[in-house]
Structures are given as structure tokens and as C-alpha cells.
Structure 1
Amino acid sequence: MKKKTVVIGFVGTMLDSGKGSARWEKWRPSIALTQHEDLLVDRFELLHDASAQGLVEQVVADIAATSPETKVLSRELSLRDAWDFEEVYAALFDFAKSYPFDPEREDYWIHITTGTHVVQICMFLLTEARFFPGRLVQTSPPRRHGPGEPGTYALIDLDLSRYDQLAQRFSRERVEGVAFLKSGIATRNARFNAMIDEIERVAIKSKAPILLMGPTGAGKSFLARRVYELKKARHQIDGKFIELNCATVRGETAASTLFGHVKGAFTGAGSDRPGLLKSAHRGLLLLDEIGELGLDEQAMLLKAIEEKRFLPMGGDTEVQSDFQLIAGTNRDLSEEVVAGRFREDLYARINLWTYVLPGLRERPEDIEPNLDYLLAQVGAENTEMVRLNREARNCYMHFATSSEALWSGNFRDLLASVTRMATLADSGNITEAIVRGEIERLRGLWQRVRRPAQDAGVALSALVGHEAAAALDLFDAVQLAKVIEVCRQSRSLSDAGRKLFSVSREAKAKPNDADRLRKYLNRFGLEWDAVIERP
């Protein structure tokens, strides 16, 4: 069964108007659309406001004269100002939501030639969003005016997937966007590539906060700046990129740095200071190590994120700033919330888009493409090509991807390594001898990182087992090893407790050092007798 053609359009208060017989000499879009010999409009939904009632009656009569088969339904919308975007969109949205669309039996053409520019834009947006499940129709007057000349019409299908060239172009734009975020580095780690692919989509479509988690040197600041540059290239932001490492500020300094202050707010405040949040207006604000912010500053930041306004220190007039936030941290903020060091409401607000950047050691397949990128970067800075010959490259990659390579500083370690090798290279040629010297240097650097964990592990593995010792965080392993050392140098459980809690016990009315120590050891499944019995 052939579908019926239904046109939905606003009456044109200027274009559709006309009086007397002379009106037929004029091209009127709504009437002309029903005059095409090759087109039967089965139904015309003629939208209008109350002020156009007289014109609508004339248009209905003229369509009946030119196309008796077309049923015209007059639809009055509650609309006071056809140039008010909010009012027009709301009226059309309500109409679309209540209209009994039947796409199985009817084709809908949304006529956007008539109506105010605001009406046309709103009808376009509602069609694009599929609230009007149809296609746009654009009409044009005839090249030569004459009685009854209907002009032309063109259908516009907003399903971009049907346009191969457009689909390919948008696909190409997405690929270029992802490559831009990675600085053109051909990374091979599937997990990392999938994450960057999603970040590209989120960056383009959303202004919501983004939380980047991961170890120091994993590239959080670098990625945040690339997100900013991508959004700026797409004309989505035109403000500045503002960055702060929250670990570098405390107390009043943190509040003043972020939110600004007025003159005389505190000792030393000799003039007004705008603050970084204001400087980031219409731009992007990166707060690295956000977990280092104090609770008071966290509360002020939450208000600024949600309401886009805040009070400078000492001020009584709120400042507005429409910024996008990217937060970085090497901590697990959920654990910080449990410990009471991070506000739960702020965490909920910035936890909409959370991504964990893996360390370099977790991406061994990406070391080589990043190595090549850094070689090119260092070479450009030194205005000469820097390269590894085959033997040198094989030697370096064998070590770099081995279990011996800690990469504790992640990409900072790799950049430092490349910089050192490039500096020692004659004419930019990094030899195998230079690589072997660099490997020894890295071993020495990482040995200082590895040694505390190894020393603690030797003491603990005999007590808690190799697997349990390996599962401990370095912080817990070092602390537990030191506690065991004190226990073995003490006469009793109480004596060890007094040594370990010599400061905090003074604040307790009835200190029970032995009980505190016993509970601490029990956390690791240890008893006093087992601890003091040397292996």
C-alpha cells in the first residue's frame, strides 16, 4: 500500500499572503506545494498562531481550489512571539509529542520555507532529533513568474548514514580527532585505543567534567591539553587552557589561587586577584592531583561546577565563570571519600566520565611508537634527525619491554631516557654502546625505587607468604616491615606498642598500646609470637 504524503508547515504571514485575484500572480510556498502535477499532498497540517487566523482561512480555501484531494487541517499553537526561541521550540515540541504520527502508513514532509527564521530552525532541530519522524522539504519560486507556476521543491533527508560521502567524511573526522588526542602516535594497546576513542566522542559532545586517573607520568596533563586543543579547533571553546597542580597549594593560598580574592581579604592581599576559575571562563580548567585540595576548597569548587559562579575570598559579589573541568589524580578517590579526605558530593559530580590511564609498563606494545615519537620530537628541538640503528633499537626494546624495566616515572622516564641518548649521540646517531650505557643508568635509577619494596618483601614473605606480600601496596609493605623490626627489638608487646605510639598515646586518657599493636598485626593475619620468632 502506497503511503500517504503529509506536509507539516507554518503558514507564511508574508510569503503566503495576498488579496484579490492578484494573489494568484504571486508565488505562495504553501499553496504552490500542492500545485505540482507529480505530487499529491494527501494532508497539509497548517500550523499558525492566533493572529494569523484570517490568513489561514484564505490559504485553506486556495489549497482547496488548486488541490481538492488535499485535506488541510488548521493547527493553532499557543504562541505569543514567533521570534522567541524558547517559546517556539516548546510549542513545536508539545505539538510533536501529542501528534499521532504513523510512519508505517504516512510519509511526513516538514516544510521549512515559511515561518520566522526561529520557527525554521526549531523545525529543523526537532526533525533532526526525530521528534518529527520525517524529511525536510524546501520550496523555491519559479525562475520565470507566471500564473500557476509552482516553482520547485527539494527533500532533505537528515539520516546522514544514507550519504556515503558525508558518512565517510564524519568517520574521517573522528579518526583524525582520535589521532590528534594521541599526537599521531600509532599506539597498539587495544584497551588504551578504545579509551581514547571514547574520550574523543565525549570531548566533542559533552561539557561535563572528566576525571583522569592513573599513576604519575601516565600522560594525564598531556591528554587534557589535547582535549582542549581538539575542542578549540572545533570552535566549542574559545577561552584559555588553565592548569593547576593542587599539590602545590594549601589553605588560603589554594582558595586564593582558585577563586581569587579582593584587596585586604587577608594579610598580604594588596590588590584584587581574579583566580584561575575566572581565567578559565569559556575555556578548560585542569586541576591535577585534585585529591590534594582541602575540604573547604572542595565545597567551593562543587558550587562553582554546578552553578558556574562563586565568591572570591573576602568578596561579597559572586563571579561567574563557564568553564569545563578536567580533574586528574593518582589516588583512588573512592577510597579517599571513605577515609573522609574527599567530599562524596564532589566525587559524584566529577565521576560522570572517568578514565584510568594505564602506566607505560602496562602498555609494553606502545613503548616503541612512543619512542619513535619522542625521537622525532627531540630531533625537532635540536634541529637534527635523531635515530637508532637496528642493533641499538633491538637492544633498547629488549630491555624496555622486559620485566626488569620498571618505568616507575612512566612517560617522564621514557622522555628523559631519549633525551639523554640524543644528547650523547654524534650527528644524531644513537649507537648500541650509548643504549647499553643508558640501560645501566636506568637500572641504577630504578634500583633505588625497587630496593625498599624488596627489603620489605624479604621480611614479610616469611611471615605472610609470598603471594600476600606481593599483594601489599609499597606503603603498607614498608610500614609493616618497620613495625616488625621494632617488635623484634622490644622486650614485649607492650614495650613495642609504647615505642610505636609514643606520640599519639599522650593524647589518650587510658592508652592501651599493646591492644593497638595487636589489632594492627591482626589486619595482616599476624600474631605476636609469630612476629618475634626470627626465621
Structure 2
Amino acid sequence: MHKSKVVIGFLGTQLDSGKGAGRWEKWRPTVSLMQREDVVIDRLELLYTPPHQALALLVQADIATASPETVVNLVPLAMADPWDFGEVYATLFDWVQSYRFDTEREAYWTHITTGTHVAQICLFLLVESRRIPGVLVQTSPPKRQQLGDPGSYALIDLDLSRYDVIAQRFGAEQRDAVQFLKSGIATRNARFNALIDEVEHVAVRSRAPILFTGPTGAGKSHLARRMFELKKARHQVAGEFVEVNCATLRGDGAASTLFGHKKGAFTGAAADRAGLLRAAHKGVLFLDEIGELGPDEQAMLLKAVEEKRFYPMGSDREVESDFQLVAGTNRDLRAEVAQGRFREDLFARINLWSYVLPGLAERPEDIEPNVDHLLARAGTELGRSVRFSNEARAAYARYAQSPEALWSGNFRDLAASVTRLATLADSGRIALALVEAEIARLRWLWQPARDVQDGLAASPGAVGRGDLAALLGADAVEALDLFDQLQLAAVLQVCRNARTLSDAGRQLFQASRAQRTVVNDADRLRKYLARFGLDWERAHSSA
């Protein structure tokens, strides 16, 4: 079906002007567009301001001469200042809202060569937002002025979905932003990658508070700083990144550090202090361990987040600070609210965007790419290339991804481990012996936590998993049921503290020995230890 062509454009008070016969020798954008032999314009909606009605009537008459098939509708738009963006956009928006577009029968071209620059921008925005359906048309004068030469024109379709190159560029920009948030690490954990994808969207689109929950060392502070740097690169923040660990704030110092104080507000306040909230003006404030804040600081923070105003300590005048809050915590703030330790209204305010960062042990598939990243960084700091041998890399990866590796300190533990390996590597080569020594160090580091987790070492001096591993070997311990591990640990603890094999046997079999006709506690204990390849000497000296 053939559609009628309709042009919408502003009268050019300079470019479209001209009197006398000489005006036909001049390139006039609005008239010239109607003079083209290759394009038939069925209707022109010519927008103009009332002071220029005479010129509008002249242009209408000239178009009737040059293109009698074109219907010209003169549309007066009253505006006091055609350079005032708000007024021009509102006037055009109201006209567009009342105009009856018929996209089934008509194709619309919006002419943006004439009119003030403000009017051109407003028309562009109305087409881009699809308030005016159709395309933009941009006209240009001929290279050499000749009578009857209408110049050239170009159509611009702002439907970006039709532009694969632009769509690909937007997609690439988003992928680059996600990689930036991940520090360029090719993480493989689906849950973590989905989380970062959403954080990227929120970081570049929202200034609302964001809450990161996760164990110590999971990367809350690092991610908050990368978010800030991403926003800074896109000119979305003008201020600084200000970070404070709320667990370090106590007493009057907490409120003073955050909100500032006036001289003499409390003992020791010898001068005015601005406070960190004001230092974060136009930037990002990262409050790590926000759950450690006291009730007074929580109330003051709520007001500052909601109203961007607050009172410094000892001051009767409010100050302002327009910051974006990013909060971090290793606590479950829902439980803290339920137990009355955290304000429900503050939690509701900072919980609009809430993300739980998984610990490293929950992301075993991400350990290897993070090791590569940390190894490259360590090599840069050491000034030499560092690499694993194949067998060393396989051994380290096998242990690091096993349930035995707790990574209780998360990335801090991993960074420290890689730093040790890189520093001790001879000629920059991490060999198997070095990895085995590092694994032993990590086992020693996590032994208390592992023992508590498994129910071992419940009291001082008790035998733990590390002791069992030293006696039997790690693989042998892993092959035992937890029941057998607990029982053997208890037996060894008695053996450690007993003077002789018989003494240990009497303590262990005190109840059942009374039911036996032949009492040989030492033999019973010896046979029990032998099941695990142990004898009395090794059991007694295991301390």
C-alpha cells in the first residue's frame, strides 16, 4: 500500500526568508524539499511562531507554485522564548499529543534543518521517543548554487533496533562494563555472573542505595569501588569514593566520623570536622559492616539518605550532602531487624537493591581464573613472570576446589596463598614441592575451623582433624566416617593424657570392664588402635 508522505518542520526565519524574484535563486530548505522531482510530498505541517506569520504565508504561496500537489498546513505555536528548552519542548509535546497520526496511511518525515537549535533538539527527542512516528530528514544546499537545484537530503531512522552495528556496540559496551566490575576475570560461576550482570545495570542506571551481604573477604569493598569507577568513567558522579568500616567506629567518634562535629561538641573536639558524609558529596559512600552502627547513628543515617541533609554533632544548622550509599555487611540484617538490633526503616531504605555475594568456597569453578589473575598481578609486583608447572597446577587446583579447602578468609586467603607461591618460586616456576608445602600451610591455617565444623576440638587440647591427618594421612582420614573420626579423636585425647597403656584402657573401658570375667583393658585398646595402624607409642606421643 502506497503511503502519503507528510513532512513536519519549523519555519526557518533566516534560511527560508527572501523577497522578490531573487529568492528563487536562493536555497531555501523548506521550499527546496518540496521542489525535488524524485520525492513527492503530499502534506507539510509548517510550524511557526506568530511574529513570523507573514513569512509563513509567503512560504506557503511559494510551495503552491513550486509543488501544487503539496498541501501546506500552517501551524502557529505561541512561545515567548524559542530558545528556552523547557518551553519549546512543552509546546511541541502538547501539539504532538493532539495531532492525529495515521501510520497505516501516512509516512512521516520530521525536518530538522530549520528552526532554532533548541527546536531541532526537541524534534529529535520526540522522534527518538517515538512520540512522532517516522524518520528524521536532514537537507543540505547544493555544492554550487544553481537555479532550480534543490540540494540533497538524508533520512535518519532513530529506531535503534534496526541498526545491528549500534546494537552490537551497546552490547559490547555492556560486556566491557561487566568485565570491568569483575576486574577482567573470566568467572564461570553462573550465580555470580548473573549477579554481576544485574549490578552493572543498576550501577549505570540508579543512584538508589545498594546493599551487599556476604562473608568477610568476599569482595564487597572491591565491587563497590569498581562500581564507583564505572560511574566515574561515564560522568555519572563528580565526587569521590569514601569508604569506612563501621566496625571501627565507637562512641562519640562514630557520629563525628560520619556526620562531622562543631568545635566543642564533646571533649576533644578542638576544631570543626566535616565528616565522611560531606566528603562523599556528589560521589559514593561505602559503609562496610553497616550492621555495626549504633542506634543513634542509624537514625541519623536514615535522615541523611532520605533527605540528603543532617545535623553535625553540636550544630543547630543542617548541612547537605548528595551521595549514593553502598552498604556492606556480613550479617543477615533481616535477623538483626527481627531482634531489634537494626532499624527496620533504615533496612527498608537500603534494601532496594540487595545482593548476596557468595564466598569463594561456593564458587570452586572460579578459583582457577582468580589464581591466574592473582598470579599475573604478583608477577607484575615482583618484576618477573611466574607460572605453575603442569603437575603443580593440577595439584593446587585439585586441593583448592576440594571440600577440604575452607577458604574461610575468601579472596584474602587466596591472594595470600598465591603471593607466597609467587614469592618463593625459583626462577619464576612454581614446582610441585612448593605447592605441597603451601597445601600443608593452608591445612594448618584452617585446622581449628575445620575441627569446630566437624565437631572435633570442642575443648582446649582436644585432638583435631589436623592431628588425625598427621597420624594417618589426609586420604585415610577422608575415608573415615565422621563417627569414626570423632571416636578416634576422643580415644587419642585420652591416650595423650594417660601415663601408660593400662591407665588409658581403664579410663576408656571403666563401665564395661566390670561386666567381664577376664579384664585386659590394655589389650582391648591395643587392638582398637591397630585398626588404624597405630600403636601406643604413636598414640601417646601424638600431642
Cα-to-partner distance string for 1:368-408 (whole Å, 9 max, x where unaligned): 11011111111111112222211111111111111111111
Distance in 2, matches of 1:345 and 1:131, equals 40
Any idea what the Cα deviations from partners look like across 1:222-246, whole Å, max 9, x if unmatched? 1111122222223333322211112
Provide the C-alpha distance between the structure 1 equivalents of 2:236 and 2:15, rounded to a whole number of angstroms.
36
CA contact under 8 A between 1:228 and 1:241: conserved in structure 2? yes
1:401 aligns with 2:401: yes
After superposition, residues 383-422 of structure 1 pair within 5 angstroms as 383-422=383-422
Tell me the distance in 1 between the aligned counterparts of 2:93 and 2:413.
Answer: 56
Query: Secondary structure at 2:175's aligned position in 1?
Result: helix
Q: Which residue of 2 aligns with 1:84?
A: 84
**CA displacement at 1:446 relative to structure 2:** 1.6
- For structure 2, the residue ranges without an aligned partner over 5 or more in a row are 460-543
* 8 Å Cα contact 2:48/2:77 also seen in 1: yes
The aligned amino acid for 1:167 is: A
**Letter matched to residue 169 of structure 1:** R
Of residues 135-144 and 356-365 in structure 1, the stretch that sits farther from structure 2 once superposed is 135-144
**Against the structure 1 CA distance between its residues 312 and 458, is the aligned structure 2 distance closer, same or farther, given a 3 Å change threshold?**
closer
Structure 2 CA distance for partners of 1:120 and 1:264, relative to 1, 3 Å: farther
Distance 1:5 1:367, change over 3 A: same
Report how far residue 300 of structure 1 moved.
Answer: 3.3
Per-residue deviation, residues 322-362 of structure 1 (Å, max 9, x unmatched): 33322222222333333333333333333332222111111
Counting only pairs closer than 5 Å after superposition, residues 250-399 of structure 1 correspond to structure 2 as: 250-399=250-399
Q: What is the one-letter code of the residue matched to 1:25?
A: E
Identity of counterpart residues, as a percentage? 67
**Once superposed, what is the RMSD of the aligned Cα atoms?**
2.5
CA 1:393/1:200 → structure 2, altered by over 3 Å: closer, same or farther?
same
Q: Distance in 1 between matches of 2:346 and 2:115?
A: 45
Aligned 8 A contact 1:242 1:276 in 2: yes
> Which residue in the other structure is 2:539 paired with?
none
CA contact (8 A) 1:49 1:80 kept: no
Equivalent position of 1:162 in the other structure: 162
1:112-261 equivalence runs, <5 A: 112-261=112-261
Alignment-derived partner of residue 515 in structure 1: none
Which residue in the other structure is 2:452 paired with?
452
300-309 or 38-47: which moved more? 300-309
Cα distance in 1 for residues equivalent to 2:388 and 2:351: 42
Contact persistence 1:387–1:430 (CA under 8 A): yes
Q: Is the 8 A contact 2:451 2:457 kept in 1?
A: no
For normalisation by structure 1, the TM-score amounts to: 0.79
CA deviations on 1:65-88 (whole Å, 9 max, x unpaired) are 322222222333353222222222
Which structure has the bigger radius of gyration?
Answer: 2
CA distance in 1, matches of 2:348, 2:100: 40
Rate the CA distance shift 1:384–1:251 in 2: closer, same or farther, 3 A. Answer: same
Moved more, 354-363 or 440-449: 440-449
Structure 2 match to 1:503: none
What aligned pairs does 1:8-23 form with structure 2 within 5 A after superposition? 8-23=8-23
Which whole-Å CA distance do the structure 1 matches of 2:399 and 2:222 have between them?
26
Flag the 1:441–1:129 CA change in 2: closer, same or farther, 3 A.
Answer: same
TM-score by length of 2: 0.78
After superposing the two structures, state which structure 1 stretch, 193-202 or 220-229, moved more. 193-202
Please list every run of 5 or more consecutive structure 1 residues that lacks an aligned counterpart in the other structure: 460-535
Contact 2:3 2:106 (8 Å CA) reproduced? yes
Please give the alpha-carbon distance, in whole angstroms, between the structure 2 residues aligned to 1:441 and 1:160. 57
Give 3-state SS (helix, strand or coil) of 1:46's partner: strand
CA distance in 1, matches of 2:78, 2:337: 50
Contact 2:425 2:431 in 1 (8 A): yes
Tell me the equivalent position of 2:67. 67
Return the letter of the residue paired with 1:273: R
Amino acid at match of 1:97: Q
3-state SS of paired residue (1:45): strand
Question: 3-state SS of the aligned residue for 1:455?
Answer: coil
Are the counterparts in 2 of residues 360 and 411 from structure 1 also a CA contact under 8 Å? Answer: yes
Report SS of the residue matched to 2:455.
helix
